[in-house]
Amino acid sequence: MKLKLITLILAICVLFSSCGKGDDQKNDDIIESASQSSEYEQNLPVSGKLPESSRVDSSYFDDAAFVGDSISLKLSYYQASTSALGKAQFFASGSLSAANALWDVSSKSVHPSYQGTKSKVEDCVAKSGAKKLFIMLGMNDIGVYGLESSIEHYKELIGLIIEKSPGIQVFVQSMTPMASSSTSQSSKLNNEKIKEYNTLLLEMCKENGWYYLDVASVMYDDSGSVLRESYCSDLSSMGMHFTNEGCEKWVDYLKTHAINAEAYPEKEVVEAVG
């Protein structure tokens, strides 16, 4: 009887000991998971140029708003026929600039529309409920206002968007290059000026905590100085708008330069800016 009692007591002790170890393991797993999550947050880029990431799917853009001029307008046509960017909403219009986006809406203004009503950019984005802003402007800015003033207008516009949409993630896309045959080139608007402008855009993003997407980097031909001809739909005129092939390249870049847990699965340090 005593032996049976001792055996029973020992069995109970072993059982409780085993349970304790299980709880400790669970606690260790929780701590490790929290540590990894914290490390992931620390390793994400804070602002500036986004490095290449693992590829995201189209749903990543479901809560995105794209703002731009006629170059982005072409991307919106591509999106309409392919849904390559999920449920992204576009607020793009021909001749739009960071400067004239600040003007009052009128019958002569070139503001984009929200559900058929011409509206200021910041109002379009706010009404859309977007959580991510992808913006590309400059082609109608730098030739008219110069580099520095164009940057100031850009900052003001993004500031208004953030004011109306607090917490929105801002992704500034670099201005894309022009074809060598472009008839729109001038002393103020050319590929060298575009590169200077993009350098200023990167600095603007670093200073303001915004992300910079170097879309231009995948649009150059082998010389690295002009728009690849197969990406250009208007070689004999403006030389700056895209073919479907160019839009496909654009989308591919965006999908491989994303900012979320799925895009950065590896726990390795990435450069925050630069």
Average pLDDT, the chain: 86
| The residue type at 40 | Y
Percent of the chain as helix, strand, coil, to the nearest 5: 45, 10, 40
pLDDT, residue 261, reads 64
Strand partners, 66: 90, 134
**Dihedral angle at the C-alpha atoms of 101, 104, 109, 110, nearest 10 degrees?**
30
Of 226, 234, 224, 241, the closest CA to residue 191 belongs to 226
Contacts of 228 (CB under 8 A, 6+ apart): 219, 220, 221, 246
Per-residue burial over 166-205, b = 16 or more CB atoms within 10 Å of its CB, e = otherwise: eebbbbbbbbbbbbbbbeebeeebbbebbeebbebbbebb
| pLDDT more than 90, % of the chain | 77
Q: What is the pLDDT of residues 141-173, one digit of tens each?
A: 999 999 999 999 999 999 999 999 999 999 999
The label of the residue with tokens 């007591």 reads: 9
- What are the backbone angles phi and psi of residue 243, rounded to the nearest 5°? -85, 175
Contacts of 103 (CB under 8 A, 6+ apart): 109
- Higher-confidence residue of 211 and 263: namely 211
Interval 204-219 mean pLDDT: 98
Distance CA 119, CA 44 (A): 35
- Separation in Å, CA 77 to CA 41, 92, 150, 242: 36, 11, 27, 11
Distance CA 70, CA 139 (A): 9
Q: What is the pLDDT of residues 55-82, one digit of tens each?
A: 999 999 999 999 999 999 999 999 999 9
* 40 pLDDT higher than 60: no
Q: What is the pLDDT of residues 215-236, one digit of tens each?
A: 999 999 999 999 999 999 999 9
Domains of the chain: 48-255 (3.40.50.1110)
pLDDT bucket at 47, cuts 50 / 70 / 90: confident
Q: Please report the beta strands in 46-176, taking only residues with DSSP state E, as ranges in sequence order.
A: 48-49, 64-68, 89-92, 113-114, 117-118, 132-136, 169-173
pTM of the model: 0.82
CB 257 within 8 A of CB 213: yes
- Higher-confidence residue of 81 and 3: namely 81
Interval 182-202 mean pLDDT: 97
9's enclosing H/E stretch is helix 2-43
Q: How many alpha carbons lie under 13 Å from residue 118 in its C-beta half-sphere?
A: 12
